[in-house]
Structure 1
């Protein structure tokens, strides 16, 4: 294998660290994974992890990756770090950790976050954001109250690793900083809110755009990881944003439907969009555009309990069957959050299945109806979705489901090749190094998967259009969707 320039994307998830080396064409050259200790979850919704475990795991993964490269890592030109949104760690004198990392799902500061929401109501409304009970902002204030004058700073996960890579403090990216109280619209920490909560803004890091150079790999880090000294360290984004970018959806009008346990629609628009219902909120794109997104309460969970073999058999039967004989909203829990917000929403059926295949086909169609409703919701907010819809997540591996989605949407669906956080981090590292910018990185590196673009099935359009109309009418009749 020849030695050619590569970038390395690092994904620090809850359970593990993954490092991925990718060349300028998007070809994976080496990868490695290291486990992290399980979070410790306790009374009152606390969720903690030993932040001291992050760097050793990253260091080990990088050492394995660079050791597998033809040039021993010398061909690496840049590295970027992406992590779970909202995880923070308190630091004291000398930058030492003075407590465990408080994880993204830690609820200990729910009351403080409610106070932050009230104190900055006008700011958050302008940003189209709600400070939720698990936001890192409240937990930062909790750290000050818990540690007092010993607290010298709050760091996000990539800030910790960036410091270890460069040997000095680094700026935070505005994606990881969002839930800690950074206002990317105004380009500042929400000082009014921080003041109201008695939290000095000076305890938070300086902030810059993702893809900005944070520093370079120090000689010490080079010796520990195999990366070359002087290698560029670029600011990353949260795992959700990086996963979106990995699909290739990086320019205004491009959106990706992520079909996992739940359905998530994320994309790019030129101007900030505000959703009065609160179902949609936005991160900021590295180039100053916006990344609106919303998560449904249904999705692949509709097929829970079926073995892979059974799913495969039902998919084949559903493809042969054609459109279902009835309409199904496959919501397995109470409450919907996107594309409409209805706490009392429940799944329903308009008619009854003829058999198991019919029921399976109706579930696939029901999730596709939610996806179309989500795209139409965006259009109603003035956000255009252009070209094919990008597709990612486990559900996108089902070719029949992808065909149904394309037919319901009446547009091609482009199945992503590598919709992974580490690959998205690699695209960010390649921006300004292997390629001129993020758009160039995505165009050169983020190709489609084996299925490529899946076209609508014209012979099924009329039946699915009729079923979608019945679906929407029923949502309105139940008072869950505006217009009824």
Structure 2
């Protein structure tokens, strides 16, 4: 039998997953192992790379048990994963540090502030394609150099989570374009590491791995990896891509002019363009097909709903019950606003922004508060959509929503009405896995391009359209939300002096 299955590996923050996909992009089987984050002090977030590998190994064994003949049917392996986690390996392939700081780790804030004080946006944006932020591996490397010198000095290569798994599978160290573009160290004009940026940050460019394209064959499953995982030695392994870029592809957002909103713990809005959008508030992701995704991130997307469930209801309500409760409130929540910056902002002068309710009155109830949380996230994202459209000089006509939050009809209707845009939702919610299948099937020659693969594999539900009545209410509320945010910014530093 000719091998026809793809083994997709997804190294997330909450779990390590493996899935078998058929040639049509359908999921045959999925297995997962939960992962935990270690928070040793405020602002830190770490995981153990070996825990990722153990989770992948266990998940693959589960898959092979579910589909007993799968081992000989797997044509290709490829991985996607959480971005920015910074793993250090020595020349023998051993970890020089048993933990890796993650995408949401903010210990690098002082390094970011120092860089911003010394460099104007106009100086570095053309060679980084991104503003400075604690998320980027460049600043994590600076912190490791200054605070764990032995681990840094003895490191041979820096890898991100997905590429650590690839190394364990193949013994080959590399990074893909989508991850490198969000490292702060790749020059967007050349696609190579920037010697100038490395020099001015005091980083050893030799510790950075080769940059490869997502559809390149990285190597093959080694005998050692086969013994651990149960996979067939010699199975080809693709370079793969970040989870963000893979999900964009798997939601069909892979052509210039298309827009995406990914609603998970955070909320990321992305506009695809042929070139990076150089702006001090806009980040840029290299996409799988070779374009650029200008994006802005709200760190409290789905986390805002998680917070409301815990803080307002003592975790007594499930998420579906919380949404049903919010639906009993009128659009606009009787003039109640929720500013959703529960964990601050990634970019800008006010990374220490806070969340708040504004406009509370005696007539308000918990349903109004629940609905205000959903609406507040939408207002915050609308700010980002406006900023992205202004930076690119164009207007969106439709948005594709993906992620867990895209399964909530009330939230989609609120968002469509706030944005004034129809919102499409892929029928298959596992967009990252579909993106993996699109890459694999293209690499195997079934499609001539990943765009063609996405067009064939991604199907959509009926668009969620704006509600004209809600749209009128939200159009009048949006300027108040903007004004509220601006006026509150003057007090964020004051709040910092009151809390440890």
User: Structure 1-normalised TM-score?
Assistant: 0.82
Q: How does 1:16-415 map to 2 (within 5 A)?
A: 16-36=15-35, 38-42=36-40, 48-69=46-67, 71-104=69-102, 105=104, 124-126=124-126, 127-133=128-134, 135-141=136-142, 142-143=144-145, 145-147=149-151, 150-166=154-170, 168-177=171-180, 178-179=182-183, 181-222=185-226, 224-276=228-280, 278=281, 280-296=282-298, 298-300=300-302, 301=304, 303-304=308-309, 305-306=312-313, 307-308=317-318, 310-318=321-329, 321=330, 324-326=333-335, 328-331=337-340, 333=342, 347=356, 349=358, 352=361, 354-356=363-365, 357-382=367-392, 384=394, 386-415=396-425
The question of whether the paired residues in 1 share the 8 Å contact of 2:130 and 2:284 is answered with: yes
Contact in 1 for aligned 2:157/2:173 (Cα 8 Å): no
Deviation for aligned residue 1:134: 5.0
The alpha-carbon deviation at position 282 of structure 1 amounts to 0.7
2:474 & 2:105 partners in 1: Cα distance? Answer: 42
RMSD: 3.6
Cα distance in 2 for partners of 1:109, 1:360 equals 34
Unpaired runs of 5+ residues, structure 1, are none
SS in 1 for 2:71: coil
CA-to-partner distance for each residue in 1:111-149, whole Å, 9 max, x for gaps?
A: 555566677766632234233345322443535832576
Q: Deviations over 1:360-390 (max 9, x none)?
A: 4444333333333322221111254544311
- SS of alignment partner, residue 380 of structure 1: helix
> 1:29 Cα deviation (Å)?
0.4
Deviation at 1:188, TM superposition (A): 1.7
Contact 1:3 1:69 in 2 (8 A): no
1:10/1:96 Cα in 2 relative to 1: closer, same or farther (>3 Å)?
same
Give the aligned partner of residue 456 of structure 1. 466
Are the aligned partners of 1:165 and 1:218 in contact in 2 as well (CA < 8 Å)?
yes
Please report how far the alpha carbon of residue 4 of structure 1 lies from its aligned counterpart in structure 2 after TM superposition.
7.5
User: Using a 3 Å threshold, how does the CA distance of structure 1 residues 215 and 190 change in structure 2: closer, same or farther?
Assistant: same
The reply on whether 1:428 has 2:439 as its aligned counterpart is yes
Q: CA 1:131–1:408 in 2, change beyond 3 Å: closer, same or farther? A: closer
**2:497 alignment counterpart:** none
Counterparts of 2:323 and 2:42, CA distance in 1? 42
Q: State the alpha-carbon separation in 2 of the partners of residues 136 and 67 from structure 1.
A: 37
Task: Please list every run of 5 or more consecutive structure 2 residues that lacks an aligned counterpart in the other structure.
Answer: 491-500
Over 3 Å counting, the alpha-carbon distance change for 1:191 and 1:456 in structure 2 is same
- CA offsets per residue over residues 299-337 of structure 1, 9 Å max, x none? 44164434226424324424xx45544252443648556
Deviation track 1:176-227 (CA, whole Å, cap 9, x = no partner) reads: 3332623334322121232345543222211112222212334554454344
- The answer (yes or no) to whether the contact 2:162–2:242 under 8 Å persists in 1 is no
Aligned positions, number: 471
- Residues 28-67 of structure 1 show CA distances to partners (whole Å, capped at 9, x for unaligned) of 101111345x455436866554434443432332232234
* Kept after mapping to 1: 8 A contact 2:251/2:458: yes
SS in 1 for 2:383: helix
Q: Determine which structure has greater relative contact order: mean sequence separation of CA pairs < 8 Å that are 6+ residues apart, divided by chain length.
A: 1
Q: Which stretch of the first structure deviates more once superposed, 357-366 or 229-238?
A: 357-366
- How many Å separate the matches in 1 of 2:167 and 2:482? 51
| Misfit runs of 4+, over 6 Å | 476-480
Separation (CA, whole Å) in 1 of partners of 2:259 and 2:113: 31
